[in-house]
Structure 1
Amino acid sequence: MQNFTSLLRGLAAAALLAGSLAHAADKVVVAGWSQPITEITNLLVEEDKGFFKARGIDLGYVPGAGGGDAIRNMLTGQATVAFTDPGSFFAALDKGEKLRAIYDIYPQNVFNVVALKSSGITRPSDLKGKKIGVYSLSSGTRQNLLVLLQQAGLTEADVTIVVTGLLNFAPLMQGQVDATAATDTGLLVGRSRGLADVNVMAVREYLNISSDMFVVTEATYQTKKDVLKRFLAAYRDSMAWMIANPDEAAALAVKRAIDGKNPAVNREIINLRNASSVSAVTQARGLGALDMAMFQKAADSYKKLGMIQREIKASDVVMQDLLPPKQ
């Protein structure tokens, strides 16, 4: 009888262990293009909101300095998913990396080039011979600057690029550069810190391609589809929350984002990111839906610019099958 009781206890313990293993959260680490800043508040509030935990995902975040960093951190095994820009994605594909884009984070282009009004720089052609700041050489600011230059028949060789760091308008205000490539949120923060009387050239007025997307390796795409589906569903949940609750997100950014000290500025940044997360395509098919025609146009434009050498077929590298259904 004692042996039978011990056996039952053993079987019960084994069942409990099997159950716990079956429900163990899957680790997904996001390689970001930035430090933990306000515009990605929906990724930073996991401890508060638990969007990913609810989907069986143990979320991690590795910061970077540009979309190229995000892809490198993913390729070196530090992360599962890269939060990166199309230019960095195309550049990696051009080098032969096997990658897939699986979710359109910001379908609207958020990049710009900013110059003081006193400089007289008002259009892309005025940038010839000028010093222009970028966040980093692997960032979307550089990639989108090149797109803007191309509109005036200029190339990188026609300007001097200076690395100024993230959200740093001090070199522009101090005259160390003639113009700075930035994002809409970067410009907002700059204005909140005293940047005034500027001319802004928005890249979307010339080529409105997505700003950021989630990218994975081919191997991860093939072997972790269930995990990735749950990750994307959780991300969509978090983004839908931030769109519906910008005030709560702005308040949480105060304790979660490194640049989140001012709730009013946080709210403005979050408003901009919420707006950049939606498009006609996402309204029809749900957050994260990828516009294949746009991606193909972007890839063709980058090749035409000479920024990549290979022809990229969007249908080969942009996947729609992991997206959560529209709610």
Structure 2
Amino acid sequence: MKRHFLRTLAALALGALCTGARAQAKLDKVTIAGWGGPISEITNLLVEPDKGFFRAQGIDMVFMPGTGGGDAVRNLLSGQADVAFTDPGSLYAALDKGEKLRVIYDIYPQNIFNVVALKSSGITKPADLKGKKIGVYSLSSGTLTNLQLLLNQAGLSEKDVTIVVTGLLNFAPLMQGQVDAAAATDTGLLVARARGVGEVNVMEVRNSLNVSSDIFVVREETYQQKKDVLRRFLAAYRDSAQWMIAQPQEAAALAVKRAINGQNEAVNLEVIKLRNASSVSPLTQKNGLGAIDVDMLQKGAEAWKKIGLIQRELKMKDVVSQDLLPRK
């Protein structure tokens, strides 16, 4: 009888331990609404099954593809995602409508957008774009808002050009003569050159205003209610970004199996190097990856208002929070 009692007690204790272990192993799900698909430039996210950066922080990370930064914000606001991987222009547009959002991490503090034309077109500067057809990824993409910024610096507006939605592979229409110029990113241009776009003239948006390309944005209620989860999420993301900076060759090899456009390892490596370069700035070198330049985001908001893309005066210091960032 006594022996049976001890066995029962031991079984109960073991069951309690197993239940506790399962509870401890439970991961907090965080869904990222992306601006695009699972492409090589975000290899640090795609390698989660291989590297487990997020699992190590107790996070079950899910990536939700999108068709532009505006799409990422919409997926965030609808509750389908917890974090938006989006551009400042899409953030400004949402804030302009009265949405309550927080910026918690600067993914790419360097502006990566450009407008590209074939040398044979004679288009060498933004002013030459007047009356031309220009391809953009989508109407909710950072390619459009950054094109508008570039046009404004030349005294032009969207009304002075014809916008053509061409998708992510928008250099094909440029090469085929369907558009006169293509609004793209540095990695998009790299892939186009690898595919034979030929000699081109490149107009860099950062020469006008070096506002960040992409940031992590959350709803205000998420920021207030899930700070511990978000801290662990950002720690995991920074770990993944630091890994890709330190091990670009390994990242390029893994992108072959993880990225939908990653078939060419050599091209992957060049894309990853570009994205690594856009992840750092003098501020991040001082304060660590993800550090947010509030003043530059403010200049961006003022530029967007000047262009007429937003109507309200935004105070970015009220929506930027750096308290969740991991220590350097």
- Report the TM-score range of the alignment, normalised by the length of the smaller protein: over 0.9
Say whether residues 1:39 and 2:41 are aligned partners: yes
For the residue of structure 1 that corresponds to 2:120, the secondary structure is: helix
1:48 match: 50
Rounded to whole Å, the distance in 2 between the matches of 1:214 and 1:54 is 20
Q: Quick check: 1:109–1:203 contact (8 Å CA) kept in 2?
A: yes
Q: C-alpha deviations, 1:192-241, integer Å up to 9, x for none?
A: 00101111000001100000011110111111110110010000000000
Q: Give the deviation of 1:180 after TM superposition.
A: 0.6
Rounded to whole Å, the distance in 2 between the matches of 1:90 and 1:153 is 22
1:238 match: 240
Q: Paired residues, what number? A: 326
2:116 match: 114
**Structure 1 residue ranges without an equivalent (≥5):** none
2:84 match: 82
Rounded to whole Å, the distance in 2 between the matches of 1:155 and 1:136 is 18
Q: Give the deviation of 1:75 after TM superposition.
A: 1.6
Rounded to whole Å, the distance in 2 between the matches of 1:12 and 1:254 is 44
For the residue of structure 2 that corresponds to 1:113, the secondary structure is: strand
For the residue of structure 1 that corresponds to 2:62, the secondary structure is: strand
Rounded to whole Å, the distance in 2 between the matches of 1:221 and 1:30 is 14
Q: Give the deviation of 1:35 after TM superposition.
A: 0.7
Indicate the RMSD between aligned Cα atoms, in angstroms: 1.2
**Structure 2 residue ranges without an equivalent (≥5):** none
1:70 match: 72
Q: Which amino acid aligns with 2:72?
A: A
Rounded to whole Å, the distance in 2 between the matches of 1:129 and 1:57 is 49
Q: Quick check: 2:118–2:199 contact (8 Å CA) kept in 1?
A: yes
For the residue of structure 2 that corresponds to 1:200, the secondary structure is: strand
Q: Quick check: 1:102–1:319 contact (8 Å CA) kept in 2?
A: yes
1:248 match: 250
State which drifts further: 284-293 or 301-310.
301-310
Question: Normalization by structure 2: what TM-score?
Answer: 0.97
Rounded to whole Å, the distance in 1 between the matches of 2:96 and 2:133 is 28
Q: Quick check: 2:136–2:170 contact (8 Å CA) kept in 1?
A: no
1:96 match: 98
Rounded to whole Å, the distance in 2 between the matches of 1:263 and 1:135 is 24
Q: Quick check: 1:167–1:189 contact (8 Å CA) kept in 2?
A: no
1:264 to 266, 270, 281: 266
Q: Give the deviation of 1:23 after TM superposition.
A: 3.3
Say whether residues 1:213 and 2:210 are aligned partners: no
1:150 match: 152
Q: C-alpha deviations, 1:64-112, integer Å up to 9, x for none?
A: 1110111111222221111000000110111111111100000000000
2:25 match: 23
Q: Percent identity?
A: 70
For the residue of structure 2 that corresponds to 1:88, the secondary structure is: helix
Q: Quick check: 1:167–1:182 contact (8 Å CA) kept in 2?
A: no
Q: Quick check: 2:30–2:81 contact (8 Å CA) kept in 1?
A: yes
Q: Quick check: 1:236–1:288 contact (8 Å CA) kept in 2?
A: yes
Q: Which amino acid aligns with 2:82?
A: T
Rounded to whole Å, the distance in 2 between the matches of 1:129 and 1:116 is 16
Rounded to whole Å, the distance in 2 between the matches of 1:4 and 1:188 is 69
Rounded to whole Å, the distance in 1 between the matches of 2:48 and 2:24 is 22
Rounded to whole Å, the distance in 1 between the matches of 2:284 and 2:186 is 21
1:299 to 295, 298, 301: 301
1:190 to 192, 196, 205: 192
Q: C-alpha deviations, 1:117-159, integer Å up to 9, x for none?
A: 1111111111111111000000000010000000011111111
Structural mapping, 1:122-133, within 5 Å: 122-133=124-135
Question: Normalization by structure 1: what TM-score?
Answer: 0.97
For the residue of structure 1 that corresponds to 2:84, the secondary structure is: strand
